[in-house]
Amino acid sequence: MEEYNVLVVDDDKEIRDVIGIYLKNEGIHVLKAEDGLEAIEVLRCHTVHLILLDIMMPRMDGIQTTFKIREQKNIPIIMISAKTEDMDKILGLQVGADDYVTKPFNPLELVARVKSQLRRYVTLGTYEKKNEVIDLNGLVLEQAEKRVSVNGEPVRLTPIEYRIVDLLMRNAGRVFSIHEIYERVWEEPSYNAENTVAVHIRKIREKIEIDPKNPRYLKVVWGIGYKIEK
């Protein structure tokens, strides 16, 4: 793959170095930071295509850092944490992470997830340069610009959120199961995907719906899955 810049943020130097070795072996350029404040500074000075972000760090932790990054950038964020509870994973996804890996992790699996996220991120900028515009009662997706708006107001979506909206809008009216959404968007087998997909659906609703609890566009079909109305 062509060279991309991945920022590894962890207060443990050994973990930063190990991840760096595996990424460099794949031809990926590695930038490093030991906490969130340093990561923000690196982002100001360098083009970064993906961030590997530890949660438990001094000065500025991974949750605070994600909030700060999402104010300006939609680049993929993979959170890394020793915490294994579902609520910790859900919190990470809620604040804007695209994926979540628990320590101890298999470095080869982590590299595979990084490459998968990079493929999707690059796809958003280069894939199918069609000027197709889908308008579903004010919810508009412009594929050439990779842009979503509601009644003329732009909506800031993360790469994963955009791909979910793109999938559902291009197949408006069709119900997709959680597992089908996961496998089409994440491009990997669905395993315990319920919380991951549900959190991203909730975040999308918060961004495109006037009343997320009574959605106009993104509907749940109980026991089956989700759809966007025609």
Ordered by start, the domain boundaries in the chain are: 5-124, 133-228
Average pLDDT over residues 213-222: 92
Mean pLDDT of the chain: 87
Q: Taking residues 116-125, what's their average pLDDT? A: 74
Confidence of residue 86 (pLDDT cuts 50, 70, 90): low
- Alpha carbons 207 and 30: distance in angstroms, whole number: 32
- The pLDDT of residue 124 is 60
Distance CA 79, CA 76 (A): 10
Given a cut of 90, is residue 77 above it in pLDDT? yes
- Say how far apart CA 12 and CA 159 lie, in whole Å: 28
The span from the first CA to the last CA of the chain, in angstroms, equals: 38
- The residue-averaged pLDDT of 75-81 equals 90
Listed range (57-61, 86-90, 132-136, 176-180) with the worst mean pLDDT: 86-90
pLDDT at 36 over 70: yes
Alpha helices in the chain (DSSP H): 13-25, 36-45, 62-70, 86-94, 107-126, 159-170, 178-185, 194-208
d(CA 93, CA 200) in angstroms, rounded, equals: 7
The Cα-based distances of 116 to 13, 51, 81, 123 in angstroms read: 25, 13, 19, 11
**What pLDDT does residue 215 have?**
92
Establish whether domains 5-124 and 133-228 are of one fold.
no
What is the reported pLDDT for 127? 39
Confidence of residue 58 (pLDDT cuts 50, 70, 90): confident
> What's residue 129's pLDDT?
44
Provide the pLDDT for residue 226: 94
Instruction: Give the percent of the chain with pLDDT over 70.
Output: 93
State the residue for tokens 């590299």. 111
| Predicted local confidence at residue 205, as pLDDT | 95
Which residues are CB-contacts of 66 (< 8 A; sequence separation ≥ 6)? 53, 77, 79, 92, 95, 96, 97
**CATH code assigned to 5-124:** 3.40.50.2300
The region of weakest confidence among 27-41, 110-124, 127-141, 144-158 is 127-141
Judged against a pLDDT cut of 50, whether residue 81 lies above it is answered with yes
State mean pLDDT over 23-29.
92
Instruction: Among 2.40.70.10, 3.30.360.10, 3.40.1280.10, 1.10.10.10, name the CATH number for the domain at 133-228.
Output: 1.10.10.10
Q: Using a pLDDT cut of 90, give the percent of the chain over it.
A: 49
Query: Would you state the pLDDT for residue 85?
Result: 62
Asked if 193 and 199 count as a contact pair (C-beta separation under 8 A), the reply is no
